[in-house]
Amino acid sequence: MSVANISTSKLKQRITLGFLELIIMLSLFLFVPAGSLNFWQGWIYSIIIFVSSAASTFYLWKKDPALLKRRLEIGVVEEKEKTQKIIQGFAFIGFALILLIPALDHRFGWSNVPLSIVILGDILVAVGFYLVFLVYKENTFASATIEITAGQKVITTGPYSMVRHPMYLGALIMLFGTPLALGSWLGLITLIPYVLVIVLRLLDEEKFLSKNLPGYNEYCKKIRYRLIPLLW
């Protein structure tokens, strides 16, 4: 599928806007509440996020522009199901808090996180992104919204042979690493509501796919674990 078929110019505009939004988000929720640009944990984290996002975007631009377009259609407005609109709204608030609390932690010095733990957090963020990238490579239907597209089929290979929702697993790994990478023990508390949001989205998505995607129920019987191998 060629980029031209989905409007190259519009796709470039969406990509540019997406990275601009990313920069603004990191600035507003990290460096502004931190009260200083002297936040080296925030800089390293931001670089990992930016480079990982750029690498995934470049890969999809070259290999699967249709999926890239679907991945850029993200957020409350883009969701078609009312339940998912609500869940996405809470997800945005949750992610903002995962950045905001560590930034305030840095500003007021609430935590003392060893360098080794910060490095571990950065590694987890990168690993989480890599797992999401593997999902992109395996599943061209991995839309940012819950929907069924023309020709969609159940994917059972790659990370989908281990759990039914490997993208959410990658997101959880990245989110768990975020407060650590930002040098904040307190930030780990924000994971509790965010995990709940992911679980609610996952369960609602499974209901939708079971009703609308042929073969999905059979896949669920074959792959027992939704999110975490050997656990759930």
Give residue-wise pLDDT tens across range 41-66: 999 999 999 999 999 989 888 888 88
Is 102 domain-assigned?
A: yes
Burial (0-12, 13-18, 19+ Cβ within 10 Å), 77: exposed
Is the pLDDT at 94 greater than 90? The verdict is: no
Residue 157 falls inside a structural domain: yes
Instruction: Tell me the pLDDT band of 92, cut-offs 50, 70 and 90.
Output: confident
User: According to the model, what pLDDT value does residue 141 have?
Assistant: 81
- Residue 27: DSSP 8-state: I
Residue numbers of the domain that contains 31: 3-222
pLDDT band at 4 (very low <50, low <70, confident <90, very high): very low
CA distance to 28, 83, 87, per residue, from 130 (Å): 26, 29, 24
Q: Which of 226, 109, 217, 105 is nearest to 162 (CA)?
A: 226
207 half-sphere exposure, CB direction, 13 A CA radius: 9
pLDDT bracket for residue 166 (50, 70, 90): very high
130-150 pLDDT, tens digit each: 999 999 888 888 776 677 777
Residues ≥6 apart with Cβ < 8 Å to 188: 176, 179, 180
Residue 229 lies inside a defined structural domain of this protein: no
How far is it, in rounded angstroms, from Cα 33 to Cα 103?
6
* Mean pLDDT over each residue of the chain, to the nearest integer: 87
In a domain, 9, yes or no: yes
Segment 180-201 mean pLDDT: 91
In a domain, 230, yes or no: no
CATH assignment of the domain containing 156: 1.20.120.1630
Any domain includes 227: no
Look at residue 115 and tell me whether its pLDDT is greater than 90.
yes
Q: How many domains does the chain have?
A: 1
In a domain, 228, yes or no: no
